[in-house]
Chains A and B, each alone.
Chain A
């Protein structure tokens, strides 16, 4: 970890030497998002593991609440890793994170509304169109 940081520092100094005009404009001093490559490889590995787990949920044919909760758990973990590390949201200021991440939470309200609506529709269909047996 520290080694990578040191290498980075070294590279930056080289950059200053090679691109003096860019350094003057301030573009090189604050190179956006700099993280060691290892971080991305670790996250990549975890995404593979989590995807394998969610595939195995189907492969072993788990059913019911166990299946649904496992699917949701792996989904949320994968989404979190992608947004936080790959999209660098973990290093952004809270003003941006909240502006982008809070509005989609309101979709859950929409989900709740549509759950009620579809249960009602289902009930009406069962009552009105059920095949006489």
Chain B
């Protein structure tokens, strides 16, 4: 009984589809999210709240940039790199974008192999995802170091509007923190998968409940969200 309450994924024939389905699902005395376990629903709701946090950061950046009378530094130039004597604009950020997208791809496949109960492939793909995430954070550390050496501070920078520094450190710092936490949890869950916890019904250390491969998908939701936020940061902060 307790186990069925945890995995509420079965589809009953009485469920209606489309618009009427929304009203039916949200009606009283039943759970609203039919084919979704509580773990997945809570992750989605957490991600929704995180969306608002990042929205507020990007909004405050927009407000600062629109209201300042001082010219905004050109991100294309600020984040340019000299590679083999060539001056390439924004190249570091482009590489970071590709790395994060690749990590999302490996994560999506890890989820898939998890549901096929292929624990070795799942664990390996999760570890690859974690490695790509760690690479991303490493490149971000490099980027921060470079900018700080060039004199960027939250209150000033050599190129223009002072708010550039505060927006940059706040937004990329918060995103980098999310990536870092994601890497830690990826490694932790990859370890459980590798050990076969979800095949043998081993009880969790913290909850003392039996886990299942759905936790890989829930972890994946968080990881894809981190990638999703980067899509918006890339567009609004670096490209705009």
Contact = CB atoms under 8 A, between A and B. Distances in A.
Interface of A: 8, 11, 15, 19, 25-27, 29-35, 37, 40-41, 43-44, 47-48, 51, 54-55, 57-59, 61, 67-68, 71-72, 74-75, 78-79, 82-83, 85-88, 92-96, 98-100, 103-104, 107, 110-111, 114-115, 117-119, 121-122, 125-126, 129-130
A33 B62 contact: no
Q: Residue among B9, B21, B97, B231 with the most chain A CB within 10 A?
A: B231
The binding surface of chain A is classed by DSSP as: helix
B166 to A, nearest CB: 16
B157 to A, nearest CB: 19
Nearest to A104: B51
Interface size class of B (residues with CB under 8 A): 35 or more
Contacts of B101: 44, 47-48, 51
Contact of B108 (A30, A48, A83, A86): A86
A37 B104 contact: no
25 contacts: A29-B10, A35-B112, A44-B101, A44-B104, A47-B104, A51-B98, A54-B234, A58-B89, A75-B231, A83-B228, A86-B107, A86-B224, A87-B221, A87-B225, A88-B217, A94-B21, A96-B36, A96-B41, A100-B45, A103-B48, A110-B59, A117-B67, A118-B63, A125-B67, A126-B69
Nearest to A25: B3
A-B pairs with lowest CB-CB distance, top 5? A44-B105, A118-B66, A95-B25, A118-B67, A121-B67
B10 to A, nearest CB: 5
Given A32-B214, A58-B239, A100-B47, A94 B19 contact: yes
Contacts of A31: 115-116
Contacts of B17: 94
Contact of B217 (A33, A48, A103, A117): A33
A87 B223 CA distance: 9
B111 interface: yes
A51 B97 contact: yes
A83 to B, nearest CB: 7
